[in-house]
Amino acid sequence: MKKQRFWPIMMILLGAIYFLLPLFATFEFSLRERRGVYSFDSYNNVLGDPQFRDSFIYSVVLGLATIAVSLILIVPTAFWVHLKLPQLRPVMEFITLLPFVVPPIVLVFGLIRIYSRPPFVLVSTPALLVAGYVVLSFPYMYRAVDTGLRAIDVRSLTEAAQSLGAGWLTILFRIIFPNLRVSLLNGAFLTFAIVLGEFTMATMLNWPTFGPYLALIGQNRAYEPAALAIISFGLTWICIGLIQLLSRGSQEQGQLAGTR
């Protein structure tokens, strides 16, 4: 038994070192701002920087907008497809998988090409960035909603509500949304984590979000980037931690990460 456990333990140790060493090193590095002594100066500098606050709030607002649009677009559609148009399911799966095939750098290229000239000049509004983020959220949001819908009896719930006189909006907002709460929160947190650190599309479309701010600090400062990396890691951890807390007890573990 002991011999059998040797390799697994070595493996886990090796993994833990590879996982934790960069985090520890980054943390140590972020404390080096003041010469010869550890201090939280770099964190103070970052948190006190008005640009940090502005870009962070900007990204949070964009993230919330993305989640709202994504939910409004995907939940009714997925519900409707489940209930009335099951033959469309492969099509939905295909479309919501496409954002993995068309990476952000290519998608933003296409968006700029179409929407920087008449008839639709959208590059001058953040709406285009939100639209791009909604597309990025498709795989996560649709998968979350789809698994959620599979777990409940959509047809019976809908028919029961209808026989009690409920209209479609009532069904959607008072039956489907509450029943999918956990799935929707899963999709929402993942989307939020992605939008918060997104760099590629924001920088190409020239919006002052958190991602481009990080890149700017990376070019101009030595220790602040490390502090920002720790802060970002903490934020990602919170989003993913909340997801895992929510899905505790359910079998679903299917997380996918797309390319950034």
Partner 1 sequence: MVDKVLEKNAKQSAARPRKWEVNLKWLGVVPFFIFSLLFLILPSFNLLIGSFQDEAGNVTLANIGNLFQPFIFNSYWLSIQVSAVTALGGVIFGFGLAYASIRGGLPSWIRGGLMTFSGVASNFAGIPLAFAFIATLGRTGFITMLFKNVLGLNLYDAGFSLYTFWGLSLTYMYFQFPLMVLIIAPAIDGLKRQWREAAENLGANSFQYWRYVAFPILGPALLGAGVLLFGNAFGAYATAFALTGGTLNLVPIQIGAQIRGDVLHNPNLGYALAMGMVVIMAVSIGISMLLQRRTARWLQ
Residues numbered 218 to 237 that lie near partner 1 (CB under 8 A) are 218, 225-226, 228-229, 232-233, 236-237
Cβ neighbours, 10 Å, residue 211 = 22
Interacting residue with partner 1 among 50, 86, 113, 165 (CB under 8 A): 113
Minimal distance, residue 237 CB to partner 1, in Å: 5
Q: What's the CA gap between 235 and 251, in Å, rounded?
A: 25
Distance CA 260, CA 200 (A): 7
List 107, 145, 182, 195, residue binding partner 1 (CB under 8 A): 107
Of the candidates 136, 121, 149, the residue with the CA atom closest to the CA atom of residue 67 = 136
* Shortest distance in whole angstroms from residue 61 CB to partner 1: 19
131-152: string of b/e by CB count within 10 Å (b at 16+)? bbbbbbbbbbbbbbbbbbbeee
Q: CB of residue 181 vs partner 1: minimum separation in angstroms?
A: 20
Cβ contact 201:54 at 8 Å: no
Site for partner 1 in 47-86 (CB under 8 A): 73-74, 76-77, 80-81, 84-85
Q: Binding-site residue total for partner 1 (CB under 8 A)? A: 85
Please select the residue that binds partner 1; options are 23, 68, 121, 160, rule is CB under 8 A. Answer: 23
Does 121 bind partner 1 (CB under 8 A)? Our answer is: no
- Cβ-contact 234, 196 below 8 angstroms: no
Contacts with partner 1 in 34-53 (CB under 8 A)? none
Contact set for partner 1, span 122-161 (CB under 8 A): 131-132, 134-135, 138
